[in-house]
Amino acid sequence: MIVVMQPNATEEHIQGIVNTLYELGLNAHLSRGESITIIGVVGDKSKFLEKNPQLMPGVERLVPISESYKIANIKFHPEPTTIDVRGVKIGGGNFTIMAGPCAIESKEQLLESAWAAKNAGAQILRGGAYKPRTSPYSFQGLEEDGLTYMAEIREQTGMPVITEITSLRALETAVQYVDLLQIGARNMQNFELLKAAGKTNLPVLLKRGLSATIDEWLNAAEYIMSEGNEKVILCERGIRTFETSTRNTLDISAVPVLRSKTHLPIIIDPSHASGVREYIAPLSKAAAAVGADGLMIEVHPNPACALSDGAQSLNPADFKALCEELKPFIQLAGRKFE
């Protein structure tokens, strides 16, 4: 439920509603616009309704919310959310590119990838320290050694760093080194991991599950946000369909659908969506044109020798060319790319 306050509602009126909610054991989520303040009610609304809130001073109307996700709901927070990561802004009219290798293989490989990404225009370095792989015999990542390299290279390049966490143990270690946490498709409904990430103060990039609906995805985001961490970024990375010509099927329509449902920033990962290097550029342009807030792209100094996902990784020259080609699409979509 949402309490819409009157345009002339005073701070005392607003605080009166908030205090009432807390006294009833409910949570209040404030969203202040230029002329109207709305208060989201989280919890058993029946307790609140018994108080006849529509008669309380400053209240204009009550709006029911049928969706099970509340804090992630655009009705709770009509303005787009902007997340600041060491000065890099994600969402709110900005276009952000996260780039780097699928898996960290060595300090030298990560450093070369980082400078290639930064020089081309990427603002955030991505790198996999923990790699959930289909086969248990595939390269699983360098774990804490990889995180150490990320922290060192952040100091050298000035780029914030993001890595995927695959377990509670990985989370406990990663928070000591990185600026953003990534929860991958396979863990989108790992509710214990989501809740643990919600107890951190780090932004969380939440990838869509292999076969998840958009509402299931938003409810996963709600798990993180309900623990107090509202810095969530959604990442569309393709869903599993009957089509086999690409690794997954990029659901480009997810962007406008999400815009109608949530205030959270939306990133697209064309690398995992396609699994094919040649398709990354057109999918990236489509993502920019449809209004996504950014991209996550795999970049490797020598994709042919990559230990993970080489077939969908761009080399530095191709990535730089793509960033240049993207600029008019980003501009036409009304986004800032700096």
Q: What is the pLDDT of residues 111-120, one digit of tens each?
A: 999 999 999 9
261 with 169, same domain: the answer is yes
Q: What is the pLDDT of residues 157-202, one digit of tens each?
A: 999 999 999 999 999 999 999 999 999 999 999 999 999 999 999 9
More confident residue, 149 or 135: 149
Asked if the structure places residue 322 within a domain, the reply is: yes
Both tokens of 142, joined, read 């360098």
Asked if the structure places residue 71 within a domain, the reply is: no
Asked if the structure places residue 337 within a domain, the reply is: no
Both tokens of 258, joined, read 């999400």
- Average pLDDT rounded to a whole number, residues 90-114: 96
102 with 55, same domain: the answer is no
pTM score > 0.85 for this model? Answer: yes
What is the Cα–Cα distance from 26 to 11, expressed in whole angstroms? Answer: 20
Counted residue by residue, the chain has a size of 338
Using alpha carbons, list the distances in angstroms from residue 52 to 27, 46, 315, 331.
17, 10, 62, 49
Asked if the structure places residue 77 within a domain, the reply is: no
What is the Cα–Cα distance from 153 to 317, expressed in whole angstroms? Answer: 21
Percent of the chain with pLDDT over 70: 98
Both tokens of 154, joined, read 């952040």
- Give residue 35's domain range: 2-63
Q: What is the CATH number of the domain that holds 112?
A: 3.20.20.70
Q: Is 50 exposed, middle or buried (0-12, 13-18, 19+ CB in 10 A)?
A: exposed
54 with 184, same domain: the answer is no
Asked if the structure places residue 218 within a domain, the reply is: yes
pLDDT value of residue 134:
67
CB atoms within 10 A of CB 72: 27
Strand partners, 205: 182, 233
322 φ, ψ to 5°?
-65, -45
Q: How many domains does the chain have?
A: 2
176 with 318, same domain: the answer is yes
- Quick one: which of 296, 77, 13 has its CA closest to 180? 296
What is the Cα–Cα distance from 236 to 51, expressed in whole angstroms? Answer: 42
292 with 155, same domain: the answer is yes
Taking each helix axis from N to C end, the angle separating 214-225 and 191-198, rounded to the nearest 10 degrees, works out to 40
- Average pLDDT rounded to a whole number, residues 215-232: 97
128 with 212, same domain: the answer is yes
- Final residue before a domain boundary, out of 34, 63, 92: 63
Asked if the structure places residue 73 within a domain, the reply is: no
What is the Cα–Cα distance from 308 to 184, expressed in whole angstroms? Answer: 15
Question: Is residue 102 a contact partner of residue 298, using CB atoms and an 8 Å limit?
Answer: yes
pLDDT value of residue 141:
74
Both tokens of 191, joined, read 């509710």
What is the Cα–Cα distance from 72 to 233, expressed in whole angstroms? Answer: 11
224 with 187, same domain: the answer is yes
Q: What is the CATH number of the domain that holds 41?
A: 3.30.70.1140
Asked if the structure places residue 302 within a domain, the reply is: yes
